[in-house]
Amino acid sequence: MEELQQVRKAKKFNLWLGLIGMFMMFAALSSGFIVYTASGVDKGIKTLLPQAFIYSTIVIVLSSFTLHFAHKAVKAGEVAKQKLLLLLTIALGIVFFALQLHSWTVLTGQGVYFINNNASQSFIYVFTGLHLAHIIGGLLVLIRCFTGAVRGIPLDNNVYRMDLAAIFWHFLDLLWIYIYVFLLLNQ
């Protein structure tokens, strides 16, 4: 049992290291954007961000709430409630993903492409694309939690999976809010 606890602590530590790495990557991208625009080559994004970004923000914040309550439910031993809330969280994650893709369609409709003469505009795709890659990972983690709950894994394993999933998903939520505000301030 003590060995299992050590393995779990190591996995949680590795998750935190990964989150720190992701944070550093987005901080570096933000710095690169700021330095690039300050150089005078481009003067910012020069386009309105898609309205879908606002809806994306609302959806991902709602998904954090549903995951929080799913996590709370499994800790109380209410696995049926956990499964329902996990399904809702997964659905909201998929809606977030679809809204982001829709945003790219809106951007291309405005003449903003990934490859263009304004690299500042390309940063929109870099930020949102990298975040979407992490969302895919988060959805896979949530699906793993859901399948574990459906299969009836032991409650302590279920709670542990939810602990890790909650840390990761809430981080993605906060990361999106940061990205959105950063892009908004620089549009």
**Section 153-162 average pLDDT:** 96
Residue 154 clears pLDDT 90, i.e. is over it: yes
Tens of pLDDT, residue by residue over 163-173, are 999 999 999 99
How confident is the model at residue 43, as a pLDDT?
66
pLDDT of residue 8: 93
Domains of the chain: 2-185 (1.20.120.80)
Q: Long-range contacts: 157-161, Cβ < 8 Å, 24+?
A: 158/74, 158/79, 158/82, 159/74, 159/75, 160/8
Asked if the model's pLDDT at residue 94 lies above 90, the reply is yes
At a CB cut-off of 8 Å and minimum separation 6, what does 156 contact? none
Query: 44 or 88, which is more confident?
Result: 88
Could you tell me the pTM of the whole model? 0.93
Nearest CA to 33 out of 134, 41, 173 is that of 41
- Give the model's pLDDT for residue 87: 98
Give the ranges where the chain is alpha helix by DSSP (H).
Answer: 2-38, 52-75, 79-109, 119-151, 155-185
Provide the pLDDT for residue 72.
98
pLDDT band at 116 (very low <50, low <70, confident <90, very high): confident
Helix (H, G, I), strand (E, B) or coil at 120: helix
The mean pLDDT value for 172-176 works out to 98
Q: What is the pLDDT of residue 60?
A: 98
Mean residue pLDDT of the chain comes to 94
Would the pLDDT of 64 be above 70? yes
Residue whose structure tokens are 């979407």: 132
Question: pLDDT of 7-26, one tens digit each?
Answer: 999 999 999 999 999 999 99
Q: What pLDDT sits at residue 186?
A: 86
> pLDDT tens digits for 30-50?
999 988 888 877 667 778 899
